[in-house]
Structure 1
Amino acid sequence: MSNTCSYHHQKTCLYWYLTLVFCFFSPFSVKSNELQILLNLKSALNKSTTTAFNSWQTPNSICTFNGITCNHEGFITELDLSTQNLTGILPFESLCKLPSLEKLSFGYNSLHGPITGELNNCVKLQYLDLGNNFFTGFFPDISSLIQLKFLHLNKSGFSGKFPWKSLENFTDLAVLSIGDNPFDRFQFPDQIFKLKKLNWLYMANCSIEGKIPSAIGDLIELINLELEYNFLSGEIPIEISKLHNLWQLELYYNNLTGKLPVGLRNLTKLEFFDASANKLEGNISEMGYLSNLVSLHLYQNKFTGEIPPEFGQFRKLVNLSLYENMLTGPLPENLGSWANFDYIDVSENSLTGPIPPYMCKQGTMRGLLLVQNRFTGEIPASYGNCKTLKRFRVNNNSLSGVVPAGIWGLPMVDIIDIAYNRFDGPITSDIKNAKVMSILSVGFNRLSGELPQEISKAISLVKIEVNDNKFSGKIPHGIGELKRLNILKFHNNMLSGSIPESLCSCVSLSDINMAVNSLSGKIPSCLGSLATLNSLNLSLNELSGKIPESLSSLKLNLFDLSYNRLAGPIPESLSIEAYNGSLVGNPGLCSSTNRSFKRCQLGSGMSKDVHTIIVCFVIGVTVLLVSIGCFLYLKRTEKDKNGDGHSLKEESWDVKSFHVLTFTEDEILDSIKQENLIGKGGSGNVYKVMLSNRAELAVKHIWNTKSNSRRKTRSSAPMLTKHDGKAKEFEAEVRTLSSIRHVNVVKLYCSITSEDSSLLVYEYLPNGSLWDRLHTSKKMELDWDTRYEIAIGAAKGLEYLHHGCEKPVLHRDVKSSNILLDEYLKPKISDFGLAKIVQAKSSIGNDSTHVIAGTHGYIAPEYGYTCKVDEKSDVYSFGVVLLELVTGKKPIEQEYGENKDIVSWVGSNLKGKESVLSIVDPNIPHAFKEDAMKVLKIAILCTTTLPALRPTMRRVVQMLKEAGPYRLVGIVIGKDSNLKEKENH
């Protein structure tokens, strides 16, 4: 009986056991588990600002959830949440428990953190996309995922060594995309060549070095091979010609040498080829067989020989960029005539013959750049009807004839540059239609006739260079309508008549050159109101009358009125030896102080006795007024005390003026009070001073560290005194800074010093600093044109400090808060070095090499081990300012990570074509992001770790000019079938 009971008990237990097992492994149980996995994922990414999870609600079927695909049995096979603005850490330990998961896509999000080894449990995965995220650390071993066909890790943030061995058995892998990641340097891994089904290999900008192995020819299924922005060297292997299916081959920005391999002509399906910026040589005849080419870029190499004539028959060719080589011979006559041709840049070669006439046949051409060659003949008339042209640059050739009238009025043209040729004929009235043209450069030709009045309708003009031609007649009276005009070069022509007063309405002018003409009449006194004017050359004309007193207020780096018919007294501030050569050839000029000119006589009709009486009367009145002023001054000083009972006027002050002053010492001292305080810095307080004539000044008040404790409370900034052994050096620094005359450097009017403190009186800039406009509550939306003008203006200011002064002046604290903006948002360098020098010498004596010269985030890396600064240190700091302008970000931000700054952040994110755009400030419109990327490139050069590799500020200015509206950016098809953007020189 007991045995029977035991038997029945065992059967019952077995029944319930089997029931539980069935329930656990039933489809219902698995689906319930899949739901929980999805809810766990949603919870892990709960901080995301996304609508991706709106449909992830019960009792909805999981197969209806956004991003979910199920098989016919209702199990999840695909999880695709790419481009959903997700943030957080992926829970692979649960995701890889989805038993039927074949596709996992989280690309183009903001996911972060490490990828754990649990990823190796997703054994059925065929498609894995984690690209364009912010992951950290190594990418894990995935040797179990042998069914993978697609692996996309572009710009995902992975670093260290890539687990190549784990790919050995991936026999079905078709797409391998690991570019734009800061991996450790590595040579081509042998494992790649075992992936016989590979058709897409993207390994751009991922630290490959060494040679391209000949085994690359074994990957015969490849249609796309991208290896750009790496450290590859040696020759392009001849075996690459075995890749008959190649559609795109990208090798640019490496160190490849030698010739293009024989047999490259076999790549008959190739449409996009770029081997630019290498050290390749020889001819490009192999390219003549690739009739399917859409885009060919071979610029910045050492190619010689002729451009294959077959290019003229290519039916798909859209972009051709071959600049900076040594090519010779003509351009094919029918070049660009078949397809919707976009642009050509063959500048800086030795090409000859005429300009092909049909490149704009389809009416789509945007850029014609043939600079610095030996082209001859006329400009084909067809380009006068090319309404899409943005850049027309044929300067520095041997072209001749009359420029087609339509060229002057192209509606989309940004720059017309035909300088240094042999053109004749006029500039026609068609120029009124060029509403967006910013640069007109036609110098050094044989152009003639009158300048058309309609030039005033080209309202976007920034630069006009018509010098060294045969223009005659009057200067157009409507020129004042060109409010953006910055540079005006009319010199070496035959212009006559007067200088129009309307010119003074061009408030942005910095350079006026009208020398060597036949201009007459008076110099307009209103030229003195052009606050940004830096260069004025009116020499060798027939100008008459007096030199306007108003010119004294200008901060001119170049000033020349020589060889005219000017007469009368020279304004006192211009009557100095430095300007003698600028005023010669005007026998009617006189001066009371400069012996190089005849002495001015007393006014006509006035006897010496009458003059003496008038002088005595004026002196008497002056004495009376001074007496009254002294009485009022003494009365007022009783009230004009600081809170501690000390008045600035109790001190004895020494005034050193560096410009003609329109204010008194008392006006400045009276304004140093709390209500006028506008800023505090490391070197003292800054006050805004409003003069009685409504002019505004900025005054920096620096206290001496040797003052008593009561005065120390005013500011922690130290100051040298006359009793300090370094006082003479301080005065020498002030003297150096006071001699600076540049439109992009803040003017120092005077210093007012006492034993206790010093006042430095500067011009006042109403729009604050660049830092304020980019990063604070005073932030404003700066369009790209404004940012570019700020960049190039500030660069010119630093260039002047480094190269334009008698002795180079190091700023030592270049930063956006030391770049001030005037009412027109024109930049001026301020606080250049003086405060730091003062603090250094007053705090540590003779050894100034250990003083922190600069501000955190802007300090060049070499300072950490040399403790010294030079011009290249300023260049680095300016590079950081450029990064601020391009990215809109601060030099130091939490998002960069611990001990990281904007330079390292940009470096870690600058991984390829796609990633560059993400760095640019989103407030910059897409149409200008290409231009911003050019400035970004300059910023990266400026912030190179090795000082010797950084450009000089003179070179920086040149590069910024070239980054303006001079070159065209082309668009060609790129990786992953998306548009990629490539800078075209």
Structure 2
Amino acid sequence: MSPASSSLCLFLFLSIFSCIKSDELQILLTLKTALQGSNTDVLASWVSNNHVCNFTGITCNSDNFVKEIELSNQQLTGTLLFDSICQLQSLDKLSFGFNSLYGTISKELNNCTKLQYLDLGNNGFSGSFPSISSLSELRYLYLNNSGCSGVFPWASLEKMTNLISLSLGDHNFSPTPFPVEVLKLTKLNWLYLSNCSLQGPIPAEIGNLGELINLELSANNLTGEIPTDIGKLNKLWQLELYQNRLTGQLPVGLRNLTNLQLFDVSTNFLEGNLSEVRFLTNLVSLQLFENQLSGEVPAELGQFKKLVNLSLYSNQLTGPLPKELGSWADFDFIDVSENFLTGPVPPDMCKKGTMKGLLMLQNKFSGEIPASYANCLTLQRFRVSKNSLTGTVPAGIWGLPNLNIIDIELNQIEGPITKDIGNAKALAQLYAANNRLSGELPEEISEASSFVTIDLSNNQFSGKFPASIGDLKHLSTLKLQNNMFSGSIPKSLGSCNSLSDLNMAHNLFSEQIPSVLGSLPTLNSLNLSENQLSGQIPASLSSLRLVILDLSNNRLTGQIPVSLSIEAYNGSFAGNHGLCSQTISSFKRCSQKSKISKDVLTLIICFALGTVILLVSFACFFYLKKREKDHDPSLKEESWNMKPFRELVASEDEIIDSIKQENLIGKGGSGNVYKVMLSSGKELAVKHIWNSDTNGLKRARSTTPILGKRGGKSQEFEAEVQTLSSIRHVNVVKLYCKYGYTSKVNEKSDVYSFGVVLMELVTGKRPIELEYGENTDIVSWVCSNFNSKKRVLGLVDSRIPEVFKEDAVEILRIAVLCTARQPVKRPTMRTVVQMLEEADPCKLVRIVISKDGTAKKIEVKEDEKINSSA
């Protein structure tokens, strides 16, 4: 070849070489564009004025062509343009695993014919995986958890005879038998086919893959027995067959896998004994749980020098555990629960100070808890319940700093819970029920601030329950039943705002039920039965939404709150002979002159009338009634325009300071009447009404009608009401602010009149209307329509907003009770007040009924609940 020809060839080669270089730069820049929105720092070096071999993640060969793209686990997102990428003619490694790539894996991947390493696993691709039969030089194929689905092209693996690692697990592929193509890949040392819809038996030919060090076929639908030929895989380091439907025994050849360190065949249907396991001396982790294995745990396991994890729970194993179990290595975890194991707890599993979990519940272990575990500072879970353990809990165990659960229930353990428990800052659950524990519970328990559940039931604890229990802000369940705790129930329980289940039954608790229990926002189960509790049932309990309530067999007295007198709580108050009720027939009816409880709530109603005006008004009223009865023609309708009551405003202090013996001017069935001299010079008559609630002073402004029949019309009275309110409803007293309610008035007839007033308020009707029918009044009209919800809603005044009509119906229901035909069946006024408190009539627009029968709405400002004009 002439020199000229040689120069021309060199020129052409350099030109082609330069073009290829230029093309590779453009390919990578195009790839960068497709990955926009990714981690920009990784691709920051991918710029046109930089050489491609200097791009992050790019490796070039000796000719400076792109050989590898390694961008796995780089937080990349976007799509891969395989038609472009596979134009990199020297590319033998393509790794994009553990990113967030999406789109489809296109068939152009087949053009990357020189690939030896392909990793697209752990991404978000979609669609089916294409046939890649042209990638015959592949040695490492990682497609696990790529997002692909459908039928996998198993046949395309047949020519990949050089494959060393194959990972296709964690896919929702179409169900298929174990692929025979895989059995021909005899150079494989890593096979991961877990959770990829394999079904049927494991072929005996699996034994031909003699180079395997890892075999994972878990979470499929494999059936039949584990083939004996698996014993030929003597290089295996890990064998995982868990969560299948395998049956039969552990195969005889298993003993040959002397290099096996990780063995997991849990959650299958295996049976037989563990004799083959005793030869696997290099085991680090043995997981055989949830099978039907039987027989004893081989004594050889006590000599396994590398064993750190042992899970044998939910089998039928018997006999003792090896004494030296877990004492050689940095033992981490044991769970042998739900078997029939006997003997003592091995003492040295935390010998190296690394153990985190000790779970041996529901067996037949006996003896004492080894003292060595009191020093196991790494321990997080200690569960030995449902055994036959005796002795005491070593004091240090109570205070282990990393423990989040202690479960010792259903044993024969005795002794106290020591003060060490104050150091258990991570302890969330304590299950110690059904033992023989005794002594007083230490105050330090409240320092274990992570508590969620405490169950000390059915023991022999005594003494006062720690008053500092309220410091446990996360406490949800507290079970103390069947002990001998005494003293009062701590009021600090009212600070346990997460409490949902409180059981203190069958103890010696005394004094009153703390009213603060009624403020617990999530409490749904309360059992205080079989104690020595006294006093009244706090009205505050009415605010709870309890699924379970049991206050039976105590020494409680007074009235059962009306809202608790329901069928759902049937039997909840039995055995309290001092209780009374107006609605539960099994209890005596409450007397109106019953002794005042020392925790009563005072409701003070200030009537807007001076004492002198009060007497004159009554005289005028009865005089007019008499004239009407005698048909006095001199009495004209227009003359009946008197308003004997007017609004007056008084301060709370003025009223409260006047409630004393020297100002007593009268006595009634529901309280005493006192003379109050205001700073303005006005005199008031104030009634001090007895009630069972105690809470803060609030003000309610009220318009209160009183029934004064004259031609079917009603008088209008207004009053300023000052009240020590109930916990939940202040304004309810405005319906109880009935002038003239003294000992001279028969209460049952008075309740009847009040019921009529309620009916007038809700319906907007007068006591007598033509629409009721001949000889029919408002009472008969309301009661006759009360058997249909639709008809009842039709009774409600149309001027009451729709949103409040259900509340109005509840007031009508109370009115019907008040107007029962037989006086003995009518509730007391005190009961009416309680019912009204629960019905919350404050929601209703205040309707004033004037003497001409018209009605107007007045703005209700209390709690800013309603603002309505006429």
TM-score normalized with structure 2 length: 0.70
Structure possessing the higher relative contact order (Cα contacts under 8 Å, 6 or more residues apart): 1
**Equivalence for 1:171:** 161
Corresponding residue SS for 2:118 = strand
> Aligned partner of 2:668: which letter?
H
Q: 1:514 to 1:612 in 2, by over 3 A?
A: closer
Q: Please say if 1:555 is aligned against 2:545.
A: yes
* 1:748 aligned residue: none
Judged with a 3 Å threshold, the aligned counterparts in structure 2 of structure 1 residues 13 and 89 are, in CA distance, closer, same or farther, namely farther
Do the aligned partners of 1:50 and 1:84 also contact (CA within 8 Å) in 2?
Answer: no
1:428-456 deviation line (CA, Å, top 9, x unaligned): 01001011111111110011111111111
Label 1:552 to 1:160 Cα distance change in 2 as closer, same or farther (>3 A): closer
Shift of 1:475: 0.8
Q: Shift of residue 756 of structure 1?
A: 9.4
- 1:85 equivalent to 2:142? Answer no
Per-residue CA deviations over 1:638-664 (Å, capped at 9, x if unaligned) read xxxxxxxxxxxxxxxxxxxxx997667
Matches within 5 A, 1:347-358: 347-358=337-348
TM-score by length of 1: 0.62
Residue identity opposite 2:511 in structure 1: G
Q: How far apart in 2 are the matches of 1:81 and 1:197?
A: 27
2:704 to 626, 631, 634: 626
Given candidates 103, 112, 125, the residue that maps to 1:122 is 112
Q: Over residues 513-555 of structure 1, what are the superposed CA-to-partner deviations in whole Å (9 max), with x where a residue is unaligned?
A: 1111112112112222122221221111112222222222222
Q: Give the drift of 1:218.
A: 0.1
Is 1:323 the counterpart of 2:330 in the alignment?
Answer: no
**Cα 1:473–1:103 shift into 2, 3 Å:** same
1:510 aligned partner: 500
* Contact 1:580–1:596 (CA under 8 A) maintained in structure 2: no
Deviation at 1:356, TM superposition (A): 0.2
Maintained 8 Å contact 1:162/1:183? yes
1:519–1:542 contact (8 Å) kept in structure 2: yes
The whole-number CA distance in structure 2 between the counterparts of 1:728 and 1:164 is 70
Letter paired with 1:219: L
Aligned pairs for 1:42-81 within 5 A: 42-81=32-71
Name the amino acid aligned to 2:332: D
Contact kept in structure 2, 1:200 and 1:224, CA below 8 Å:
yes
Q: 1:105 to 1:366 in 2, by over 3 A?
A: same
Q: The residue matched to 2:572 in structure 1 has which SS?
A: helix
> 2:529 matched to 1:539?
yes
- 1:181 pairs with one of 159, 171, 185: 171
Give the corresponding residue for 2:372.
382
Residues 618/175 of structure 1: CA separation in 2 closer, same or farther (3 Å cut): same
Contact 2:213 2:236 in 1 (8 A): yes
- The residue aligned with 1:36 is 26
The secondary structure found in structure 2 opposite 1:34 is helix
Please say if residues 296 and 321 of structure 1, whose CA atoms lie closer than 8 Å, have aligned partners that are also in contact. Answer: yes
Deviation, structure 1 residue 110:
1.8
Equivalent runs, 1:144-163 vs 2, <5 Å: 144-163=134-153
Partner of 1:110: 100
Which residue matches 2:13? 22
In structure 2, relative to structure 1, the CA distance for the partners of 1:315 and 1:599 (3 Å cut) is same
The separation in 2 between residues aligned to 1:100 and 1:24, in whole angstroms, is 18
Q: Deviations over 1:83-138 (max 9, x none)?
A: 22222222222222222211111111222222222222222211111111122222
Deviation at 1:248? 0.7
Q: How far off its partner does 1:619 sit?
A: 11
Q: Within 5 Å, which residues of 2 pair with 1:332-347?
A: 332-347=322-337
**Partners of 2:109 and 2:475 in 1: CA distance:** 61
1:377 partner SS: strand
Q: What is the correspondence of 1:490-505 to structure 2 with a 5 Å cutoff?
A: 490-505=480-495
Secondary structure at the counterpart of residue 567 of structure 1: strand
| In 2: Cα distance, 1:364 partner to 1:258 partner | 36
SS of residue in 2 equivalent to 1:113: coil
Q: What is the identity, as a one-letter code, of the residue corresponding to 1:571? A: P
Are the equivalent residues in 1 in contact too, given 2:548–2:569 (CA < 8 A)?
Answer: no
> What is the deviation of 1:592?
3.8
Deviations 1:717-753 (A, max 9, x none): xxxxx9xxxx969899x9xxxxxxxxxxxxxxxx999
Do the aligned partners of 1:443 and 1:468 also contact (CA within 8 Å) in 2? yes
Which residue number in structure 1 is paired with residue 381 of structure 2? 391
Query: Would you say the 8 A contact 2:25–2:48 is kept in 1?
Result: no
Deviates more, 1:554-563 or 1:203-212: 554-563
Corresponding residue for residue 815 of structure 1 = none
Gaps of 5+ in 2: 597-665, 674-684, 690-699, 708-713, 719-726, 736-781, 808-870
C-alpha contact (below 8 Å) 1:302/1:326 kept by paired residues: yes
Question: Would you say 1:611 and 2:668 are equivalent positions?
Answer: yes
**Number of the residue aligned with 1:404:** 394
- The corresponding residue for 2:257 is 267
Q: Which runs of 5+ in 1 are unaligned?
A: 1-10, 635-658, 668-721, 735-750, 763-985
Question: Conserved in 1, the CA contact under 8 Å of 2:703 and 2:734?
Answer: no
Aligned position for 1:816: none
Tell me the distance in 1 between the aligned counterparts of 2:531 and 2:7. Answer: 113
* Larger Rg computed on CA atoms: 2
Would you say how many aligned residue pairs link Structure 1 and Structure 2?
A: 651
Query: In the alignment, is residue 256 of structure 1 matched against residue 246 of structure 2?
Result: yes
Match of 1:436 among 405, 413, 426: 426
Assess, with a 3 A threshold, how the Cα gap between structure 1 residues 413 and 633 changes in structure 2: closer, same or farther. Answer: farther
Instruction: Report whether the alignment pairs 1:422 with 2:479.
Output: no
Structure 2 residue matching 1:135: 3-state secondary structure: coil
Q: Which whole-Å deviations, capped at 9, do the CAs of 1:338-369 have from their partners, x for residues lacking one?
A: 11111111111111110000000011111111
- Alignment check: 8 A CA contact 1:50 1:85 kept: no
Q: Which residue of 2 aligns with 1:203?
A: 193
C-alpha change, 1:557 and 1:21, in structure 2 (3 Å) is: same
- How far has the Cα of 1:36 moved from its partner? 2.4
Query: For residues 469 and 59 of structure 1, do their structure 2 counterparts lie closer, same or farther at Cα, with a shift above 3 Å needed?
Result: same
CA distance in 2, matches of 1:220, 1:551: 72
Letter in 1 for 2:474: R
Indicate yes or no: 2:657 matched with 1:600: no
Alignment of 1:736-885 (within 5 A): 757=802, 759=804
Shift in CA distance, 605/256, structure 1 to aligned 2, threshold 3 Å? closer
The answer to which structure has the higher helix fraction is: 1
Rounded to whole Å, the distance in 2 between the matches of 1:12 and 1:468 is 106
Deviation for aligned residue 1:571 = 2.6
CA separation of 1:523/1:242 partners in 2, compared to 1, >3 Å: closer, same or farther?
Answer: same
Structure 1 residue 754, shift from structure 2 partner: 9.3
What is the distance in 2 between the residues matched to 1:180 and 1:605?
Answer: 75
Q: Distance in 2 between matches of 1:396 and 1:128?
A: 52
Distance 1:169 1:490, change over 3 A: same
| Alignment-derived partner of residue 218 in structure 2 | 228
Question: How far off is 1:297 after superposition?
Answer: 1.0
Whether contact under 8 Å (1:231, 1:255) holds in the other structure is yes
Q: Contact conserved, 2:97 with 2:119, CA < 8 A, in 1?
A: yes
1:220, CA displacement in angstroms?
Answer: 0.2
Distance 1:308 1:43 in 2: 61
| TM superposition shift of 1:193 | 1.4
Q: Is the 8 A contact 2:513 2:538 kept in 1?
A: yes
Query: 1:759 Cα deviation (Å)?
Result: 4.6
- Counterparts in 2 of 1:664-703, with a 5 A limit? none
RMSD: 3.5
Give per-residue Cα distances to partners, 1:804-852, cap 9 Å, x unaligned.
xxxxxxxxxxxxxxxxxxxxxxxxxxxxxxxxxxxxxxxxxxxxxxxxx
Would the alpha carbon gap of residues 731 and 400 (structure 1) be closer, same or farther in structure 2, given more than 3 Å must change? Answer: farther
Identity rate, percent: 58
In structure 2, do the counterparts of structure 1 residues 32 and 594 end up closer, same or farther at CA, with 3 Å as the change threshold? Answer: closer
How far the C-alpha of 1:52 sits from its partner, in A, is: 2.1
Instruction: Give the whole-Å Cα distance in 2 for the aligned partners of 1:347 and 1:665.
Output: 61
| Post-superposition offset of 1:396 | 0.6
Q: Residue 753 of structure 1 contacts residue 759 of structure 1 at CA under 8 Å; is this kept in 2?
A: no
